[in-house]
Structure formats: structure tokens, C-alpha cells
Amino acid sequence: MTFAEALRRAMEERGIKQKHIVSATGFSDAYVSMLVNGKVGDPKFSTAEKVIHALGMSLDEFSALRSSDE
């Protein structure tokens, strides 16, 4: 599963909107949209870490989600 797919799934499961990620990370609406829609690919670690923490997840939890095939 790609970063974007895992991000969308985590957002859906947790009821988190894109605007929450924007406010929690300080990233622009456009950049978060690019992350959600897979336009960035795999972001650098520091970016991914901020987004994952904005989801209320640990890096291990997000990594496990990415590893799932569902």
C-alpha cells in the first residue's frame, strides 16, 4: 500500500479531515492534498512523521497499516 493509500485509509478510519492535517502540521492545503492524492509519492521522513502524528498514530501503527493488503 502506498503512503497516500495508507493516509486516506487512516483518515477515513479515524474520521479525520484534510483540514485537520493542515492545521496540525502547518503544511499548506495544496501540499496535504498532494500527499493525500499520491502526487508526492513517499514523502521525506520528517514530513511523514508530522502527518502520522497528526493522525494520532505511532510510526509503527502506520507502518503496519501500510504493510496490510486489505
Query: What are the chain's domains?
Result: 3-67 (1.10.260.40)
Give the model's pLDDT for residue 20. 97
pTM: 0.90
Please list the pLDDT of the chain residue by residue as tens digits (70 residues).
999 999 999 999 999 999 999 999 999 999 999 999 999 888 999 999 999 999 999 999 999 999 986 5
DSSP string, the chain: --HHHHHHHHHHHHT--HHHHHHHH---HHHHHHHHTTSS-SPPHHHHHHHHHHTT--HHHHHHHHH---
